[in-house]
Amino acid sequence: MPGLVIAGTEPVGGRILNTYNTLTTKTVSPVMEVRFHGRGGQGVVIASEVLAKAAFRMGFEVSSFPFFGVERRGAPVTAFARIDSKPIRNKSSIYEPDYVIVLDNSLLKGVDVLEGLKPGGTVLINYPDGSPLPPLPQSYRYYTLDANAIAAAHGIGSKVAPIVNTAIMGGVAKMCDWVSLDAMLETIRAVAPVKKEENVAAAREAYERTREVTV
């Protein structure tokens, strides 16, 4: 599939990954909705697709799709994933997510990444180890991991511009109890065109280093 690259850039055109699985064995009630925020070149869209494919491996119905603003490297990019135990008919953007994933913490200053997040929702932020989070609403649960450092250590992207999506997906597996680390790692290994084991190792390390924090 063009653009389906773990260690690469997003495609310039929108598309929907929408797969119906008739062998559902897991349940989520109600539907889980996840919104990803990042910048062009970080693999935001691929991250949402990896989550959808990992959930599909576990028997869920899934839908994953991007939203592009200005289509250039470094511009804000948003992507979405829906996970349900029933076929998904809703193709709209996600305005009230259960989970928010932030691949670039600079967006905390210029974008309302928490907009519409359901009460008691959960947030995962790529943030440097040992650095306190800025003031954030206390009505949500927060997790952090230093995905930049992990990706750079495994040679995914460069030290200046690491590609953090696989590390982030390890954190997602730690944060969510409805998708397993094994399913996530199998999906990453299946879709990564290069550095498969490095991407898998980055996700595994991120899983171990993801921590819930207080604000």
pLDDT in tens, 98-122: 999 999 999 999 899 999 999 999 9
Can you tell me the distance from the alpha carbon of 74 to that of 63, in angstroms, rounded to the nearest whole number? 25
Residue 66's nearest CA partner among 136, 128, 10 is 10
Whole-structure pTM value: 0.85
Phi and psi (nearest 5°) for 84?
-150, 165
Q: Can you give the pLDDT at residue 20?
A: 35
Both tokens of 104, joined, read: 């670039």
Q: Which residues pair with 78 in a beta bridge?
A: 37, 67
- Of residues 3 and 95, which shows the higher confidence score? 95
pLDDT at residue 57 tops 90:
yes
Q: For strands 141-145 and 122-126, give the pairing.
A: parallel
By three-state DSSP, how is residue 62 classified?
strand
CA–CA–CA angle 215, 135, 115 (5° rounding): 100
% of the chain exceeding 90 in pLDDT: 71
Can you tell me the distance from the alpha carbon of 79 to that of 89, in angstroms, rounded to the nearest whole number? 18
Q: Which residues of 130-140 are buried (b: 16+ CB within 10 A; e: fewer)?
A: eeeeeeeeeeb
Cβ–Cβ < 8 Å for 80, 47: no
pLDDT at residue 30 tops 70:
no
Mean pLDDT taken over the chain = 86
Q: Which domains does the chain have, with CATH numbers?
A: 17-210 (3.40.920.10)
- Of residues 41 and 170, which shows the higher confidence score? 170
pLDDT at residue 21 tops 60:
no
CA–CA–CA angle 79, 31, 22 (5° rounding): 100
55 sits in which H/E element: helix 44-57
Q: Can you give the pLDDT at residue 135?
A: 94
Residue 178's nearest CA partner among 85, 114, 71 is 85
Distance of CA 52 to the CA centre of its chain: 10
pLDDT in tens, 137-184: 999 999 999 999 999 999 999 888 899 999 999 999 999 989 999 999
Can you tell me the distance from the alpha carbon of 41 to that of 61, in angstroms, rounded to the nearest whole number? 28
- Of residues 7 and 143, which shows the higher confidence score? 143
| Dihedral angle sign, alpha carbons of residues 136, 123, 71, 89 | negative
86 C-beta neighbours (distance < 10 Å), count: 14
pLDDT (average), residues 39-48: 91
pLDDT at residue 26 tops 70:
no
